[in-house]
Amino acid sequence: MFRSPSRIIRQPCPQPPRVTIPRRTAHIPSAFLLDNYIPRYKLLTDAQISRKKEQAIENLRKCNICPRMCNVNRLVGETGYCMVGEKAKVSTIAPHFGEEPCIQGTYGSGSVFFSGCSLRCSFCQNHEISHQRAGFDLSPEELADWFVKLQNLGNVHNINAVTPEHVVPQVALAILAAIPMGLRIPIVYNTSSYDSPEALSLMDGLVDIYLADFKLSSPVSSKRLLKADDYPKTAKESIKIMQRQVGDLKFNFDGIAQTGLLVRHLVMPTYVEEGKEIMRYLAEHVSKDTYVHVMEQYRPTAHVGKMNRGKSGGIRYSEINRPATDPEVDAVKLAAREAGLWRFVEDSPHEGFR
């Protein structure tokens, strides 16, 4: 029943405390937003942690963590194709901005760059680290300490393990050791996608974000440029496993990725059709909601453009001895959209680690 204003008894009413309600980032649909995300490793039981430790030690004892399947015993100093033994070799530890603003956000990732690699990319943008294996050795316990030190800087958004495919057991043991030390931010696994199922099984439950490259789609070009003709098959299966583990990329209300899969493709001059095929594969066999970064910053480096040492002479890898053109990049982006992909990385204002 309506009462006139004169009959309303007005009493002093304390003001409720001001509550700041976070605004949803306008370009992120609600299906891909998370309120309070807890890193996956924080949900492991004691029994699961014990099994992970045992699995990591067994992987080191008979190394099967990349498709090379060297089966060496790294616990006694043996090394395989990657030339890295029991300890992980690290080149740089620092807060860092990469090419994906949704991963690095305002303050960057707490990044650990691992030396060595299971591939031998002729055009490697980080060849001083990956090919020459410059750096220093760290045990899993020392790595764990660095993870926590990076976190305790107070402003990094995640721990980003860069090129860890050949040191998966060490990274796993480091994450497990860091849990009781107070580690509490998401883990990013930044990979070429040349991973074995055994490696990804070990990472399941430890990794929150898979930042996965998909370089080439043809065994012929992969053998020539990556020295691994099984790369396309391996990358396809690896990315599907990653998707099953963490799903599509999801964000907090600040627009920072918390969990899920992001796939990167560096557009290569001459190999545009392979880029198009990769986009179609992601849409048809992974998810049309896959978050994709079509990268355009390729430049000739490493072995590209050097003179052949043989009698024939000439320029090595001459077909990629130039940057990718705008039309080449645009063709791959158009193929992605035509395939049904729609979630793309925005350009980063920072110069990323290539």
**What is residue 116's predicted lDDT score, i.e. its pLDDT?**
87
Question: What is the residue whose two structure tokens read 């300890």?
Answer: 87
**What is residue 131's predicted lDDT score, i.e. its pLDDT?**
64
Q: Binding site annotation covers 124? A: yes
The H helix count followed by the E strand count for the chain is 10, 10
Q: Binding site annotation covers 121? A: yes
Q: What are the angstrom distances between the C-alpha of 263 and each of 34, 71, 287?
A: 20, 29, 11
**What is residue 309's predicted lDDT score, i.e. its pLDDT?**
76
- Taking alpha carbons only, the member of 214, 181, 202 closest to residue 286 is 214
Q: Binding site annotation covers 70? A: no
**What is residue 125's predicted lDDT score, i.e. its pLDDT?**
81
Domains assigned to the chain: 57-344 (3.20.20.70)
pTM of the model: 0.90
**What is residue 132's predicted lDDT score, i.e. its pLDDT?**
64
**What is residue 308's predicted lDDT score, i.e. its pLDDT?**
84
**What is residue 21's predicted lDDT score, i.e. its pLDDT?**
38
Total Cβ atoms within 10 A of residue 284? 11
Q: Are strands 88-96 and 136-138 parallel, antiparallel or unpaired?
A: antiparallel
User: Strand, helix or coil at 254?
Assistant: coil
User: What is the per-residue DSSP string for 124-169?
Assistant: -TTHHHHTT--SEEE-HHHHHHHHHHHHTTS----EEEES-GGGHH
**CA dihedral sign of residues 142, 144, 146, 149:** negative
**What is residue 352's predicted lDDT score, i.e. its pLDDT?**
44
**What is residue 347's predicted lDDT score, i.e. its pLDDT?**
62
pLDDT 10s per residue in the chain (354 long)?
333 333 333 334 444 444 443 444 447 899 999 999 999 999 999 999 999 999 999 999 999 999 999 999 999 999 999 999 999 999 999 999 988 999 999 899 999 999 988 999 999 887 777 666 678 999 999 999 999 999 999 889 999 999 999 999 999 999 999 999 999 999 999 999 999 999 999 999 999 999 999 999 999 999 999 999 999 999 999 999 999 999 999 999 999 999 999 999 999 999 999 999 999 999 999 999 999 999 999 999 988 999 887 666 789 999 999 999 999 999 999 999 999 999 999 765 554 433
190 φ, ψ to 5°? -100, 100
